[in-house]
Chain A
Amino acid sequence: MKYLRNFYKYRGLMYEIVRKNIKLQYRDSILGMFWTFLQPLLTTIVLVFIFGNVFGKSSSGVVNYPIYLLCGRLLYEFYSQSTKRAMRSIRNSASVIKKVYVPKYIYPISNVLSNFITFFISLIVLVCFIVFFCVTGKNPPHITAYILLSPVPILILLILAIGIGLILCTLDVFFKDIDYLYEVFCLLLFYMTPIVYKIDALKISSKLFSYVLMANPMYSITEMFRCCVLYGEMFNIHHLLYSLGFALVSLFIGLLVFYKKQDKFILHI
């Protein structure tokens, strides 16, 4: 009850930080907010150009390669950007935390949320892609009523990002090295998640490697999302249960670790 009341009092702060992050992100750039969807559009074109040609025919198993790639990239980009920003959030607001009492969890969570909002804006690109391919009739995605289920994987990803963000920002207070390690981890994650390739098109000889691929919750989440918006079919229930479970466990661990360590933050930042 006490926590809820405290959260209610400081909800304004969360709102202000989300607002600030979004406003400042593209301030001073000429195109401003346009970058939120211009950036994924341009990078997707680059990736389609490169990997579409590298894989050549082997990407033909995919219904529509540009949309396939864009789905994966948007989700990955949201996850990596929001967790990276959440990770640094506590140290970046050290000047405030040292001077005024504020509930510290506001910082990682609002950083994830502000990225979530820019992610939402960037979904416009996806809508444009879908409309474009439907209108031109070339490799049109199968749009069915299942598209209404697309918020499910997005929400699971949001929970996952908050959980991992809380764990990372706690670690980051004590060990700055996490910054660099996580950068490498995100690169690994980009290639371990079927974003540019399709998992069944791979010829995997090592059993262990395929287990690792499957264990990646990002795999389940992107597959679910693609089922909704690209294949137009119900997603695999195992993917749902696994990724939801993973997200909730990481949220639980994140809250626990953060709660246990938050009083020590001020001594280290």
Chain B
Amino acid sequence: MSKPAIEVKNMSMMFNLNSEKVDNLKEYFIKLLKRQIHFTEFWALKDINLTVEKGDRVGILGFNGAGKSTLLKVIAGVLKPTEGTVSVSGVVAPMLELGAGFDSNYSGKENIYLYGATMGYSRKFIEKKFDEIVEFSELQNFMNVPVKNYSSGMRARLGFAIASAVEPDILILDEVLSVGDAKFRKKSEAKIMSMFDKGVTVLFVSHSVDQVLKICNKAIILDHGKIIASGGAEEICEEYNKMVSGGK
């Protein structure tokens, strides 16, 4: 048995919710002197244990504020867990928000290199993939236009094209398949499907049960920072549907 792709052990994530945001010195000192700085502890995730084997495609379901995105951010290494450990083996490609690394004054072409570098790829590697990225995004005519003039759909397409062109071991998808028109959505779904054949591990957050059923073989339900159910995709989706219709 090889090492699992993702192993999360007793992981908890706590945020301090200040009742008011204090970000200037004067206010800070005044409040400190008056002892008015209150923090409310908020555990976004509590005691999460999750093992994802290589090649597994795990759907993460849950209501708004259940901690889905926080979980993905912790696994992607953006957030450091308050307690517990997370170990990830392999290259992670986070698609948390497409086009987050773009500079709006930069042209599409320049942004491909910048975004690639943000994900830790060398210029040479991106050069090799460049044509593939441009072709997939269908933005051939807009490569020299600054990204600030792109529509949000165009940004998302370019972002997806770059993020999927690299060959990650672990793909983290946070509701990214809901962007673009139906045609591009189909195309990106097909792209992700083709990555499965190469044995990529996927973490997939979506509110659409249908998409989860189509893409995932396993699923978990998060509720108030805890995993309340995990197992095969079909039974979990059924349970989730019950939760939704039960008005819980």
Contacts and interface: CB of A to CB of B under 8 A. Distances in A.
Contacts of A20: 103, 106, 110, 114
A266 B79 contact: yes
A266 B78 contact: yes
A99 B113 contact: no
A175 B122 CA distance: 35
Interface residues of B, number: 32
Contact of B23 (A13, A100, A175): A175
B100 A96 contact: yes
A30 to B, nearest CB: 17
A99 B103 contact: no
Contacts of A97: 78
B34 interface: no
Contacts of A263: 80
Contacts of B117: 10, 12-13, 15-17
Contacts of B122: 12
A177 B24 contact: yes
B103 A24 contact: yes
A174 interface: yes
A15 B100 contact: no
Contacts of B11: none
Interface string A248-269: 0000000000000001001110
B108 interface: no
B76 interface: yes
Contact of A101 (B76, B100, B123): B76
A99 B24 contact: no
B77 interface: yes
A207 interface: no
A20 B113 CA distance: 10
A184 to B, nearest CB: 14
Contacts of A138: none
Contacts of A98: 78, 100
A41 B230 CA distance: 68
Given A16-B114, A177-B25, A99 B78 contact: yes
Contacts of A100: 76, 78, 94, 96, 100-101, 118-119
A228 B34 CA distance: 55
A95 interface: yes
A57 interface: no
Interface string A6-41: 000110110111001001100100000000000000
A124 B185 CA distance: 53
Nearest to B114: A16
B247 interface: no
Given A20-B103, A24-B105, A266-B79, A175 B25 contact: yes
Given A98-B78, A100-B119, A177-B24, 5 more contacts: A24-B103, A27-B105, A99-B100, A100-B100, A101-B77
15 contacts: A10-B120, A12-B120, A17-B114, A20-B103, A23-B110, A24-B105, A95-B100, A99-B94, A99-B101, A100-B96, A100-B118, A100-B119, A177-B26, A267-B15, A268-B23
